[in-house]
Amino acid sequence: MGLLAMNEASRTAMILAAGRGERMRPLTDTTPKPLLPVGGKPLIAWHLEKLAAAGFRRVVINHAHLGEQIEAALGDGSRWGVAIGYSAEGQGKALETGGGICKALPLLGDDPFLVVNGDLFTELDYARLAIPEEMLAHLVLVDNPVHHPGGDFHLDENGLVHAGGEPRLTFSGIGIYRPGLFQGCEPGPFPLAPLLRQAMACGKVSGEYFSGRWLDVGTPQRYHQLQQELAGGSGDQ
């Protein structure tokens, strides 16, 4: 498979920040999860810094729960050297990952774009990610964490990702997608996984294994774990 690096001039990323953060309550009752402080700055600021350092100049952020706080805190993104666009989903029924990306497509352009879950922490270098020319999606997979021992997908020796097969790895919440993955999708709530599985069945999803630092900051326990690690200096980027 020929790798196609993301075009420098149109390098665009999306940070998913619309989740309610139910498992993080009561922390998220008054503060959206991406704005929870870790290492002296909001969690989402770590992503913005890393994206800017990797050459991304446009970042789209979707939001719903307390979304006005996110816009007020981040502004136009100029302090990080990026231009932030917002995809507001309102306070109604959650659009889920697939629906959220679909709604934001007009802001994302026609080229492949990177999507990062806003509630993770990683040392992955976004600059080195690339999508093979013939693929609809390229996923970053990690070792199965304790809270998700069964994993999600199988990565074969040719770099293709499959819905079935062993051993299984966990989808990190980081991927590059072509707009064509969402062709024919109707506006409204829908998950991303069925689209990925459909593309996998056609051999259109590649992937790579990342063995470095990655944490799903999905519970108060893991949030406090990250706080302690960064306070100890082990989270220097």
What is the predicted pLDDT for the residue at 184? 92
83-88 and 214-216 beta bridge pairing: unpaired
pLDDT in tens, 185-197: 999 999 999 999 9
E strands, 97-180, are 113-117, 120-122, 130-132, 137-142, 154-155, 161-162, 170-177
For the segment 56-69, the average pLDDT, to the nearest whole number, is: 93
Residues 209-233, mean pLDDT to the nearest whole number: 87
Confidence of residue 28 (pLDDT cuts 50, 70, 90): confident
Do 71 and 86 touch, CB atoms closer than 8 A? yes
Which domains does the chain possess? 9-231 (3.90.550.10)
Tokens of 43: 């969690």
Q: What is the mean pLDDT of the chain?
A: 90
Separation between Cα atoms, residue 128 and residue 63, nearest integer Å: 27
C-alpha distance from residue 72 to each of 7, 75, 134, 143 (Å): 30, 6, 39, 36
Instruction: Give the percent of the chain with pLDDT over 90.
Output: 73
**pLDDT digit string (tens) for 146-172?**
999 999 999 999 999 999 999 999 999
